[in-house]
Amino acid sequence: MARPAKTVAGISVAVAVALSLTACGGGSGAQQSADAKQTLTVWGMGEEAKRLAEVAKDFEKDNPNVTVKVTPIGWDVVGQKMTAAAAAGKLPDMAQMGSTMMGQYIALDVLEPVNTKTFKKSDFFPATWNSNVVDGTAYGVPWYADVRGLYYRTDLAKKAGVDKAPVTWADHHALAEAYRKNGAQWGTALQPGNTGAWQSWLQFLYSEGGSLTDADGKAALDSPEAVKAFETWGGYFKDGLAKKNFVPGADVAKTFAKGEEPTFMSGPWMVQNLNEQQPQLKGKWKTAPLPAGPKGSVSWVGGSSLVTFRDSEHKAAAEKFTQYLTTPETQAAWYGATKSLPAAKAAYDLPEIKDSAEADSLKVFRAALDTGKEIPALEKWNEIAAAIEGTLEKIAQGGDPAAEAKKLQATTEGLISR
Amino acid sequence: MKTAATRAGAGPDRAPAQAGGPPGQQAPTGPELRPDRLSRQNLAGWLYSTPFLALFLTFMAFPIIATLLMSFTDFGLRNVTHPLDANFVGLDNYTALFDDPKFMKALFNTCYFVVLGVPLTIGSGLVAAVLLNSGIDRFRTFFRVGFYVPVVTAIVAVAVIWRFVLDPSEGLIAGLGSQLGFSTPDFLASKALAMPSLIVMAVWRNMGTAMVLFLAGLQAIPVEVREAAKLDGAGAFQEFRRITVPLLRPTMLYVAVMTTIGFLNVFEEPFVMTDGGPGDSTLTVSLHMYKEGFSFFHMGSASAMAYVLFTIVLAVTLLQFRLLKDKTR
For residue B212, is it within any domain?
yes
The answer to whether residues A226 and A258 belong to one domain is: yes
A256 shares a domain with A346: no
At B140, the pLDDT band (50, 70, 90 cuts) reads confident
- Mean pLDDT computed over A209-215: 91
Same domain, A265 and A406: yes
* H or E segment and range at residue A405: helix A401-413
CB A404 within 8 A of CB A230: yes
Whether residue A78 lies inside any domain: the answer is: yes
Which residues, including other chains, have CB under 8 Å from residue A197's CB and lie 6 or more apart?
A191, A246, A388, A389, A392, A393
Q: Report the gap between the CA of B64 and the closest CA in chain A (Å).
A: 7
pLDDT above 70 covers a percentage of chain B that reads: 86
Q: Is residue A28 part of a domain?
A: no
In tens, the pLDDT along A142-192 reads 999 999 999 999 999 999 999 899 999 999 999 999 999 998 999 999 999
For A262-286, how does the pLDDT look when each residue is reduced to its tens digit (9 = 90+)? 999 999 889 888 998 999 998 999 9
Window 95-124 of A, Cβ < 8 Å to B: 104, 107-110
Give B233-245 pLDDT, tens digit per residue: 888 888 888 888 8
Residue A67 lies in a domain: yes
Q: Which residues of B touch A1 (CB under 8 A)?
A: 262-263, 265-268, 286
| A57 is a domain residue | yes
Could you tell me if A416 and B329 are in contact, meaning their C-beta atoms sit under 8 angstroms apart?
A: no
pLDDT band at residue B327 using 50, 70 and 90 as cut-offs: low
Question: What is the predicted pLDDT for the residue at B33?
Answer: 52
Q: Are A254 and A397 members of one domain? A: yes
**Alpha carbon distance A306, A128 (integer Å):** 11
CA torsion through residues A22, A28, A30, A36, sign: positive
Kindly state whether residue B17 falls inside one of the protein's structural domains.
no
The ipTM of this complex is 0.77
A160 and A239 in a single domain? The answer is: yes
Cα–Cα distance for residue pair A408/A410, rounded to 1 Å: 5
Q: Are A86 and B81 in contact (CB under 8 A)?
A: yes
> Of B162, B251, B268, which Cα lies nearest the Cα of B211?
B251
Determine the structural domain holding residue B106 and report its residue range: 101-323
Which pLDDT does position B34 carry in this prediction? 56
Omega within 30 of 0 (cis) for the link into B278: yes
Residues of A in contact with B302 (CB under 8 A): 8
- Does a structural domain hold residue B92? no
A101-150 pLDDT per residue, tens? 999 999 999 999 999 999 999 999 999 999 999 999 999 999 999 999 99
Question: Per-residue confidence at B38, pLDDT binned at 50, 70, 90?
Answer: low
- Mark yes or no for CB contact B296/A383 under 8 Å: yes
Q: Are residues A170 and A208 in the same domain?
A: yes
Kindly determine whether residue A245 and residue B278, on different chains, have CB atoms separated by under 8 Å. yes
Could you tell me if residue A9 is inside a domain? no
Q: Which residue has the higher pLDDT, A30 or B172?
A: B172
Rounded Cα distance, B199 and A305, in Å: 42
User: Do A174 and A273 share a structural domain?
Assistant: yes
CATH of the domain at B113: 1.10.3720.10
Please report whether residue B93 resides in a domain: no
Strand residues in A235-311 grouped as ranges (E): 263-266, 285-288, 300-308
pLDDT of the residue at B206: 94
Q: Are residues A50 and A120 in the same domain?
A: yes
Do A269 and A355 fall within a single domain? no
The set of residues, in sequence order, having a beta carbon less than 8 Å from that of A235 and lying 6+ positions away, is A173, A241
**B325 vs A290, higher pLDDT:** A290
Same domain flag for A177 and A162? yes
Compare CB distances from A248 to B273, B297, B306 and report the shortest one's residue: B273
Judge whether B70 lies within some domain.
no
Number of domains observed in the structure of chain A: 2
**Nearest Cα residue to A384 out of A227, A228, A213:** A213
Given a cut of 60, whether residue B29 has pLDDT beyond it is no
pLDDT band, very low/low/confident/very high, at B12 (cuts 50, 70, 90): very low
pLDDT in the model for residue A76: 83
> For A4, which of B58, B190, B286 is closest by C-beta distance?
B286
Mean pLDDT of chain B: 84
Residues 212-231 of B with CB under 8 A from A: none
Q: What is the pLDDT of residue A247?
A: 74
Beta strands in A177-279 (DSSP E): 263-266
Touching check for A8 and chain B: CB below 8 Å? yes
Residue A135 domain-assigned? Answer: yes
**Chain A residues touching residue B294 (CB < 8 angstroms):** 7, 11, 79-80
Number of domains in chain B: 1
Interface of B with A in 96-155 (CB under 8 A): none
Q: DSSP class of residue B20?
A: I
Eight-class DSSP state of B18: I
Binned at pLDDT 50, 70 and 90, residue B160 comes out as confident
In chain B, which residues have their Cβ closer than 8 Å to the Cβ of A20?
none
pLDDT of residue B329: 57
Cβ neighbours of residue A382 closer than 8 Å, sequence gap 6 or more: A79, A100, A104, B295, B296
Same structural domain, A172 and A270: yes
Q: Is residue B278 part of a domain?
A: yes
The answer on A189 and A96 residing in a single domain is no
CATH number of the CATH domain containing A210: 3.40.190.10
User: In this complex, do B303 and A245 lie within 8 Å of one another by their Cβ atoms?
Assistant: no
Stretch 154-213 of chain B: residues touching chain A, C-beta under 8 Å: 163, 168, 186, 188-190
- pLDDT for res B2: 40
- Residue B305 contacts A where some CB pair is shorter than 8 Å: no
A27 part of a folded domain: no
Percentage above 70 pLDDT, chain A: 92
Range of the domain at A64: 36-146+302-374
A413 CB within 8 Å of a chain B CB? no
Could you say which of B186, B189, B266 has the minimum Cβ distance to residue A1? B266
Q: Do A8 and B306 touch (CB under 8 A)?
A: yes
pLDDT(B84) > 70: yes
Any B CB within 8 A of A410 CB: no
* Residue B266, in any domain of the structure: yes
Which chain A residue has its CA at the smallest distance from B294's CA?
A: A80
Whether A260 is covered by a domain: the verdict is yes
In this predicted structure, what is the pLDDT of residue B69?
93
